[in-house]
């Protein structure tokens, strides 16, 4: 998920050239994925709270893999944007449930450590996966960069199917309760700060290939 969030930034010029569109238009592929990922995750977590964790994680990863393969095969911008939205849905379905699964496996005493592993995986995917995917996309083709992301997702899917044990279904948390935390002004202030800081840096990072070029 961390790799897929940013891998397109390094190969936007190749995408723009391959699809005969502007770099700005190609940048909307990152926007489509990020908005879908960020906005739908809380709702998907609530809607799927009563489903078994392991099959749910497997379906989410399978959707993610197929959407990335569809992105690589997209012949034009509208179809590429559609595939990126579907990939964002897979990521949004996977990440919260992966956190819930990790917390359930670790137990109350080690829950914080387990969640840090999940979040650390997103960071590792950005630090190591993005440069590899970008190098593949620049030296082979932008489509190959997305196939690389799909291959990593397929490996993760295999790991979930083989290694992850069956988990009990956690108690359902209503959507209203999930959003109740926004009544805390300190939380809202922190989220607003993170949105501005993240947006300010990611807007530049999205077009880093063009800026450095």
Give, for all 213 residues of the chain, the pLDDT tens digit.
Answer: 888 878 888 888 889 988 999 988 999 998 999 899 888 988 888 888 788 888 889 999 999 999 999 999 999 999 999 999 999 999 999 988 888 888 888 777 888 888 888 888 888 888 888 888 888 888 888 899 899 999 999 999 999 899 888 777 766 677 777 778 888 899 899 989 998 998 888 888 888 888 888
CA 62 to chain CA mean position, Å = 13
Domains and CATH numbers, the chain: 2-212 (1.20.1250.20)
pLDDT of residue 11: 86
pLDDT of residue 128: 83
User: pTM for the whole thing?
Assistant: 0.84
Residue 83, both tokens? 């595939």
pLDDT of residue 64: 94
């Amino acid at each position: 998920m961390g790799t897929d969030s940013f891998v397109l930034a390094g190969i936007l010029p190749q995408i723009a050239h391959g699809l005969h569109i502007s770099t700005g238009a190609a940048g909307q592929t990152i926007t489509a994925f990020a908005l879908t990922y960020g906005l739908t995750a809380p709702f998907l977590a609530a809607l799927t709270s009563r489903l078994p964790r392991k099959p749910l994680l497997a379906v989410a990863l399978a959707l993610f893999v197929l959407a990335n393969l569809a992105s690589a095969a997209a012949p034009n911008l509208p179809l590429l944007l559609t595939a990126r939205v579907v990939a964002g849905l897979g990521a949004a379905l996977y990440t919260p449930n992966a956190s819930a699964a990790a917390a359930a496996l670790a137990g109350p005493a080690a829950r914080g450590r387990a969640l840090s592993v999940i979040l650390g995986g997103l960071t590792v995917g950005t630090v190591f996966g993005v440069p590899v995917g970008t190098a593949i996309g620049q030296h082979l083709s932008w489509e190959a960069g997305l196939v690389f992301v799909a291959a990593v997702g397929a490996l993760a899917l295999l790991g979930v199917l083989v290694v992850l044990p069956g988990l009990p279904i956690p108690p359902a948390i209503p959507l209203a309760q999930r959003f109740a935390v926004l009544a805390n002004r300190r939380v809202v202030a922190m989220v607003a700060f993170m949105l501005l800081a993240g947006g300010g840096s990611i807007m530049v990072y999205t077009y880093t290939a063009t800026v450095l070029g």
